[in-house]
């Protein structure tokens, strides 16, 4: 069980008031708030040992390099990567997926090949594959979803023919909250000869993730969604695949030797980390990993399951409100909904006036919204620092909005 008051005390932003009301922050699926240990770790680098990493033969640089590379080790341990060399620091999940599309995809996808996605993918796990397919003459195919937001697993094997070279799937939908059976998908995809990339942006921050147990080939996630800073993300890749891939970007730090006409590449992981890295942000991500590990990912996941179930119970009782997606036991801490006759943007604005921060729009998943016959939804998302009292505040505010708008 979480000591929720102790957790909340670690997040300075949660003590703010907005429009004269206590802040109720329910948009962690977009980006989470930051705890003091992360803020302090980053400030310490700027104050005490700021210097470019990997390059300086002096104390500041060596201290910063050690802290940065220690963060890589902690990330590797956090997702149970078999070797630290499989942890590539990127700017975010989007860049990590684009790295695979560019470096692995250009080398392995040919005309007539297929890339299998699902109907619930975020644009970041859709548009890079569209660009690759257009360039290579490949085809995108989609595993459908049911009307209540679950994957049609009964159709998977029929889509996994010999033409499918890559399966790219989200572990948890940022709209539906659906937690997908990715381990089963990976097993069946490998049996069909396909490589699998997992978009774990919504799962690594919220539940235990073990890349060796999943046996995924690639896995991508962002620091800013897991109590870390913006500007730092992670691509995990199997070492053999990463070794065979060409660099994504050229420049400093990713080279071993440069001639006038050619260059040879640095070893993993630095082959994919061109230029001065976001090392302060990387150190902040390491501190975030330590923070989450100290609390316990199982405890965080259990807290969010309980909170989500309570939120769905409270909100489903409101007239005119329709929750999108599966039952609580099949989803993570995301509840997206529509309110009859009220545009989601208006709902979000009225909630903001009561100090409640939610997201409204298509959540970078326009095709999914069209599949559901919607243009936009309101999304409340929960994290380790949210409480049942905040769910009650959301429900009361929505009840007032509904009464005001004639629901």
Which residues are the active-site residues?
364
Distance between CA atoms of residues 43 and 38, nearest Å: 9
Nearest one of 307, 320, 280, 283 to 28, comparing CA atoms: 307
- Give strand pairing partners of 57: none
Distance between CA atoms of residues 31 and 15, nearest Å: 17
Structure tokens at 114: 């297929």
Q: How many residues are listed for the chain in this entry?
A: 407
Q: Contact, 166 vs 197, CB < 8 A?
A: yes
Element (H, E) at 316: helix 297-316
Structure tokens at 80: 């149970």
Distance between CA atoms of residues 111 and 106, nearest Å: 11
Nearest one of 387, 363, 385 to 375, comparing CA atoms: 363
Cα→Cα distances 182→44, 160, 256, Å: 39, 15, 37
Distance between CA atoms of residues 326 and 179, nearest Å: 9
Helices marked H in 173-246: 182-191, 211-214, 239-244
């Amino acid at each position: 069980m979480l000591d929720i008051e102790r957790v909340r005390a670690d997040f300075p932003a949660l003590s703010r008031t907005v429009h004269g009301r206590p802040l109720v922050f329910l948009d962690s699926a977009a980006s989470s708030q930051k705890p003091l240990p992360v803020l302090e770790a980053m400030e310490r680098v700027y104050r005490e040992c700021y210097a470019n990493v990997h390059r300086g033969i002096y104390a500041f640089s060596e201290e910063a390099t050690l802290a940065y590379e220690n963060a890589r080790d902690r990330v590797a341990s956090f997702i149970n990567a078999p070797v630290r060399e499989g942890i590539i620091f990127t700017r975010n999940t989007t860049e990590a997926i684009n790295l695979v599309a560019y470096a692995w995809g250009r080398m392995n996808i040919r005309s007539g090949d297929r890339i299998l996605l699902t109907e619930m993918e975020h644009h970041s796990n859709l548009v890079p594959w569209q660009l690759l397919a257009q360039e290579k003459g490949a085809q995108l195919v989609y595993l459908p979803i049911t009307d209540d937001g679950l994957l049609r697993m009964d159709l998977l094997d029929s889509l996994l023919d010999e033409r499918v070279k890559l399966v790219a799937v989200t572990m948890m939908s940022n709209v539906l909250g659906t937690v997908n059976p990715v381990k089963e998908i990976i097993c069946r995809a490998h049996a069909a000869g396909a490589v699998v990339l997992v978009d774990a942006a919504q799962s690594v921050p919220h539940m235990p993730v073990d890349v060796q147990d999943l046996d995924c080939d690639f896995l991508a996630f962002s620091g800013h969604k897991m109590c870390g800073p913006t500007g730092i993300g992670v691509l995990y890749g199997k070492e053999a695949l990463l070794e065979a891939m060409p660099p994504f970007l050229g420049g400093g730090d990713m080279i071993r030797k440069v001639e006038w006409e050619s260059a040879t590449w640095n070893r993993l992981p630095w082959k994919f980390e061109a230029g001065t890295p976001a090392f302060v942000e990387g150190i902040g991500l390491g501190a975030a990993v330590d923070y989450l590990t100290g609390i316990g990912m199982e405890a965080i996941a259990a807290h969010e399951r309980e909170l989500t179930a309570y939120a769905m119970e409270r909100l489903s009782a409101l007239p005119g409100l329709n929750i999108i997606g599966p039952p609580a036991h099949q989803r993570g801490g995301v509840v997206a909904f529509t309110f009859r006759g009220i545009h989601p943007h208006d709902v979000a604005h009225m909630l903001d006036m009561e100090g409640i921060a939610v997201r409204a729009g298509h959540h970078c998943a326009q095709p999914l919204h069209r599949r559901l016959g919607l243009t936009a939804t309101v999304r409340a998302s929960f994290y380790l620092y949210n409480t049942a009292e905040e769910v009650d505040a959301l429900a009361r505010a929505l009840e007032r909005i509904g009464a005001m708008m004639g629901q």
